[in-house]
Structure 1
Amino acid sequence: MSSPRQQHWENVYSTRQADEVSWFQDDPTLSLDLIARSGISANAPIIDIGGGASVLIDRLLDAGHSALTVLDISHVGLTVAQKRLGDHAGRVTWIAQDVTAWHPPQDAFALWHDRAVFHFLVEAADRAAYVRALDRGLRPGGFVILAPFSLTGPERCSGLLVRRYSAAMLQAELGADYALVNQQPQTHLTPAGNRQDFIWCLFRKSAT
């Protein structure tokens, strides 16, 4: 039985084209820049949380990354990406799962990327579950890229309330084991022409 959260996102992807959703990016430049800034190797395992139909995975494959995983709550969203990639989809691990209910392999990933998932977790229990999954799945010394709406961003997205952040607020959610490496504001222009302010943060997990 699917949860209301999953049903919501399946409906979003079933009723709108991938390039019509508000978070669509034709060129995920900032994601790629921060991944490069981390200095991880091309064979280091990366997971994109909430990747859905995003083209980030295409760009990472093009750049030579070979250990890629995409997790999304929506089967439909993942299917869009798989069809777009064609034969190359087999080079990616696909996980249809709510990240707050996910139990990842221990220390499986060198980099955890999340653009526009964390801000939907308005309940403290969901955020705590997310951080537990992150703590388990990210290896010591690994990197986290979080990009939620900033304090000047929208209060709602895709019909849902969101929680807006500063870098300090994200730091507080992650805790002392994560050190802020870089932060950058970004104003995203949606396909409908609306402006959405994000805060991009790169953290590094303690090596011990």
Structure 2
Amino acid sequence: MIKKQHWETVYQTKATDDVSWFQKRPALSLNLIEATGVGKDAGVIDVGGGASVLVDFLLDAGFAKPAVLDISAAALACARKRLGVRAGLVEWFEADVTEFYPPRRFHLWHDRALFHFLTHKDDRQKYVETLRRTLTPDGHVIIATFAVDGPVKCSGLDVVRYDAPAIRAALGEEFRLLEQVDETHITPWNTEQKFSYFRFVRNG
């Protein structure tokens, strides 16, 4: 409940473009999604998507019934309001990722800046368990975290920074790392945050 209260407060008190992780266009995520080669009818879930505009771009690209998972009802409400009538084309899940049981499986799991908030080993293990029950046997995974030279905190919370060996160890041998792409994210206040994006495929 403490985690949920934190994120509800963030999205109830800040504009969606007044948070450090805001992107007008999630270009790198879109490029990596394209690189997976998944079809437009493939199930795509944005984990920790909150009020992110990624789902808008997925709809624009013709993806059928993308899904957004977030712990914050307020964040999801922001995204629904922004999308208007198109919100009905999206599956919305209000849940903690460590406790999520999906109604169906998805071909692509996208997570930008959720995993690095899991500072306890038990929560990371639960995350991977959710990933396993959510993803198809040959599914794709894109996870973006703060890089090893990135911030040590975000939104007042501690984070865990990752390089390729660390995130491979966290996910386990069931997931094969295909590429790592580093990004310097510029916040709305023109400060830099170093991110690393990791693209995996599940060894079906």
TM bracket (short chain): over 0.9
Question: CA offsets per residue over residues 79-126 of structure 1, 9 Å max, x none?
Answer: 0000000000000000010101112246x0000000000000000000
Amino acid at match of 1:61: L
Whether 2:48 is the aligned partner of 1:50: answer yes
Which of 172, 181, 187 in structure 1 is aligned with 2:169?
172
Distance (Å, rounded) in 2 between the aligned partners of 1:145 and 1:12: 25
One-letter amino acid of the counterpart of residue 4, structure 2: Q
Measure, in 2, the Cα distance between the counterparts of 1:41 and 1:55. 20
**For residue 138 of structure 2, what is the aligned residue in structure 1?**
141
Is structure 2 residue 3 aligned with structure 1 residue 13? no
Instruction: State TM-score, norm by structure 2.
Output: 0.99
CA distance in 2, matches of 1:177, 1:126: 18
Which of 96, 99, 102 lines up with 2:100 in the alignment? 102
Name the structure 1 match of 2:147: 150
Which ranges of structure 1 fall in alignment gaps of 5 or more residues?
none
Matched, 1:116 2:127: no
Q: Contact 1:105/1:136 (CA < 8 Å) preserved in 2?
A: no
In 2, distance between residues paired with 1:102 and 1:32?
A: 24
SS of residue matched to 1:140: strand
Secondary structure of the structure 2 residue equivalent to 1:179:
strand
Distance 1:98 1:109 in 2: 17
- RMSD of aligned residue pairs (Cα, Å): 0.7
For 2:46 and 2:106, the matched residues in 1 are separated by 10
Structure 2 counterparts to residues 58-137 of structure 1, below 5 A: 58-105=56-103, 108-137=105-134
1:158 partner amino acid: S
Counterpart mapping for 1:16-35 below 5 A: 16-35=14-33
| TM-aligned CA deviation for residue 182 of structure 1 | 1.2
SS in 1 for 2:146: coil
**Secondary structure of the equivalent of 2:49?**
coil
Matched residues in 1 for 2:202 and 2:174: separation?
A: 6
Instruction: Specify the alignment match of 2:190 in structure 1.
Output: 193
Deviating above 2 A after TM superposition, structure 1's stretches of 4 or more consecutive aligned residues are: none
Count how many residue pairs are aligned between Structure 1 and Structure 2: 204
Q: Is the 8 A contact 1:149 1:163 kept in 2?
A: yes
